[in-house]
C-alpha cells in the first residue's frame, strides 16, 4: 500500500468535548482540517496496529466524504480492519454495540447529535473507546494537545470504497467490512426486551403508535424493529429515510 505523508499546519480550535468535535461543515471542509484531527486521534492512541476500527455516522451532509478520508488515514496508520455501516450509516448506540460485540479497538462516530444538518449546518466527529463509550477526558485532552502541534498526516493512496455493498473487501493489508447498520442493534434489543410480548400488543393493533424519525439516522432502525420485527403498521413510521439535511427538520426529540 502506498502511503503519503502530507505536510500540514495545525488549527487552534480542535478541542473536543465528550460529544466530540463539532463545527460547521465549512470548517471541516478546510484543507487538512478533518485530516489533522483524525491523525491527532491516531497519534494519541497506542497499540492499535492490525486491530479493528468501527466507523459510521448519522448520514448528515459530509458524512460519506469524511468516511472515505478516514478510511484512507486509518489504513495508512496501520489498522488491520474497518467495520463500517452500509451507506456510512451507524447510530451512536449501534456503533457502541458493534465496538463491544466485535471487540474492536475503538470507533469513530460522525455525528453532531441533534444539531441541524446540511451544507451550511453542523458536522461532528467523536472517538469511542473499546468499551463503546465516549473517549474519556484524558483521551480528548491528548487529541487536542496533539492537534496544536501536528505538522503532517499519513494517508493511503487508494480508490474510494463502495460503502453501499454489504460484504468484505480486502485492500492490500486492510480488511474492510461493510455491514448492515441495523442488524446487530436489533439483535441487542431482542436480548433486552420481550419482543414476543411487545408484538402481541403492537402487531395486534392494541397499541397505536407514530414514530417520526425526522429524516435522521433512527429511521432504518425504527422500520426494522417496530415494523418488520414487532408488526407495527408501515405508516406508523414517518420521515424514515435519512437525508443529508434531515429534510429541513431539526432532529431534536
What span, in angstroms and rounded, lies between the C-alpha atoms of 116 and 224?
25
**Angle at CA of residue 116, ends 163 and 32, nearest 5°:** 60
Q: How far is CA 203 from CA 208, 210, 218, 227, 246, in A?
A: 9, 14, 20, 8, 29
What span, in angstroms and rounded, lies between the C-alpha atoms of 236 and 233?
5
Q: How many CB atoms lie within 10 A of CB 190?
A: 13
Selection from 60, 95, 85 nearest residue 214 by Cα: 60
**Does residue 44 carry a catalytic annotation?**
no
Q: In the sheet where 21-24 sits, what is the strand order?
A: 21-24, 122-128, 106-110, 52-57, 81-89, 174-179, 167-171
Q: How many CB atoms lie within 10 A of CB 233?
A: 14
Give the HSE-up count for residue 176: Cα atoms under 13 Å, Cβ half-sphere.
26
Q: Which of 19, 44, 96, 113 is catalytic?
A: 113
Catalytically active residues are 113
Amino acid at each position: 500500500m502506498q502511503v503519503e505523508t502530507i505536510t500540514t499546519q495545525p488549527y487552534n480550535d480542535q478541542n473536543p468535548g465528550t460529544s466530540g468535535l463539532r463545527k460547521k461543515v465549512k470548517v471541516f471542509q478546510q484543507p487538512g482540517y478533518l485530516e489533522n484531527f483524525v491523525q491527532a486521534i491516531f497519534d494519541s492512541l497506542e497499540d492499535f496496529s492490525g486491530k479493528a476500527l468501527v466507523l459510521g455516522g448519522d448520514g448528515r451532509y459530509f458524512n460519506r466524504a469524511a468516511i472515505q478520508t478516514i478510511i484512507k488515514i486509518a489504513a495508512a496508520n496501520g489498522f488491520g480492519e474497518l467495520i463500517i455501516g452500509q451507506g456510512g450509516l451507524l447510530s451512536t448506540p449501534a456503533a457502541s454495540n458493534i465496538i463491544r460485540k466485535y471487540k474492536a479497538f475503538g470507533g469513530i462516530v460522525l455525528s453532531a447529535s441533534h444539531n441541524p444538518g446540511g451544507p451550511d449546518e453542523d458536522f461532528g466527529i467523536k472517538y469511542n473507546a473499546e468499551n463503546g463509550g465516549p473517549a474519556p477526558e484524558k483521551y480528548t485532552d491528548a487529541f487536542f494537545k496533539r492537534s496544536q502541534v501536528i505538522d503532517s498526516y499519513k494517508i493511503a493512496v487508494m480508490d474510494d470504497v463502495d460503502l453501499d455493498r454489504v460484504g468484505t473487501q480486502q485492500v492490500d493489508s486492510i480488511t474492510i467490512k461493510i455491514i448492515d447498520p441495523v442488524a446487530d442493534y436489533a439483535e441487542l434489543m431482542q436480548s433486552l426486551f420481550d419482543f414476543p410480548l411487545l408484538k402481541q400488543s403492537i402487531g395486534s393493533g392494541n397499541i397505536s403508535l407514530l414514530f417520526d424519525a425526522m429524516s435522521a439516522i433512527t429511521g432504518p432502525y425504527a422500520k426494522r424493529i417496530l415494523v418488520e420485527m414487532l408488526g407495527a403498521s408501515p405508516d406508523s413510521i414517518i420521515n424514515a429515510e435519512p437525508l443529508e439535511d434531515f429534510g429541513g427538520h431539526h432532529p431534536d426529540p
